[in-house]
Amino acid sequence: MSAPVIGLTGYEEQVRWGVWDVPGVLLPSAYARSVAAAGGVPVVLPPVPEVIELVLPRLDGLVLSGGPDIGPGRYGAAPLASTAEPRVERDAAELGLAASAAAVGLPVLGICRGLQLLNVARGGTLHQHLPDVVGADGHAPAPGVYGRHTVTVTPGSLLARSLGLSASQPAEAPVSSYHHQAIDELGAGLAVSAVAPDGTIEAVEDPAQPFLLAVQWHPEVGEDLSLFRALVAAAVSRMPAG
């Protein structure tokens, strides 16, 4: 059987290399390397609303990657001064992609912004600046520095199974995070499967989907490929035999 094709949502940002300073589609390589190491074929998807969903029938799985703040208007809020300028096309492209992926049962792993996007896609809301809610911010301690903390994982959840944790007892797992926003009101159909010590929702999943899991942390920056392996395994399970 051929390896499953895993789409990874990309950024569009101003980038510089050589003599060039132009808009570019990009993604931190750790995402693609993690998918490849887990046995998948990574394909970066550009944030172009009119074409991104056309690739869906060719994908076996999807990673909704991290990135900038989602436009607060998407969840009925006015932007705070601490909220970054949204990437309007990326928001539109990924919200449409998330809805279409759920409609066909495509295996989905959301990471950081990906968790927030899935929550907004389900009608949920976000805390626009987490330090205003939990105080001192261990989730992003300094620019470009990942916070290290533990999360408590719900026993028997898809997340627990994916991490190889207990099916009967809550377990803690260390994570690397870098975010200043988080889930406030939970979106329809989502269940919380991990929380931080300060109460921040750290993972959600949809029990009605074959595999829809999202985490607030960044598994691509660590050495544990469990979540990527679980996504690839779910993608393989829906591929035609032969």
Q: Of 172, 179, 218, 223, which residue is the catalytic one?
A: 218
Q: Please indicate whether residue 139 is annotated as part of the active site.
A: no
Q: Please indicate whether residue 172 is annotated as part of the active site.
A: no
Specify which residues 21 forms β-bridges with.
Answer: 16
Q: Please indicate whether residue 12 is annotated as part of the active site.
A: no
Q: Provide the strand spans (E) within the chain.
A: 5-9, 11-17, 20-26, 41-45, 61-64, 108-111, 126-127, 147-153, 171-177, 182-183, 191-195, 201-205, 212-215
**Strand, coil or helix: what is 145?**
strand
Question: What's the CA gap between 81 and 102, in Å, rounded?
Answer: 33
Which has the closest alpha carbon to 197: 131, 149, 126? 149
Residue 69: partners with Cβ closer than 8 Å, 6 or more residues away: 83, 84, 86, 113, 128, 181
Q: Of 89, 94, 112, 223, which residue is the catalytic one?
A: 112
The string over 8-27, giving b where at least 16 C-beta atoms fall within 10 Å of a residue's C-beta and e elsewhere, is bbbbbeeeeeeeeeeeeeeb
Residues marked active site are found at: 112, 218, 220
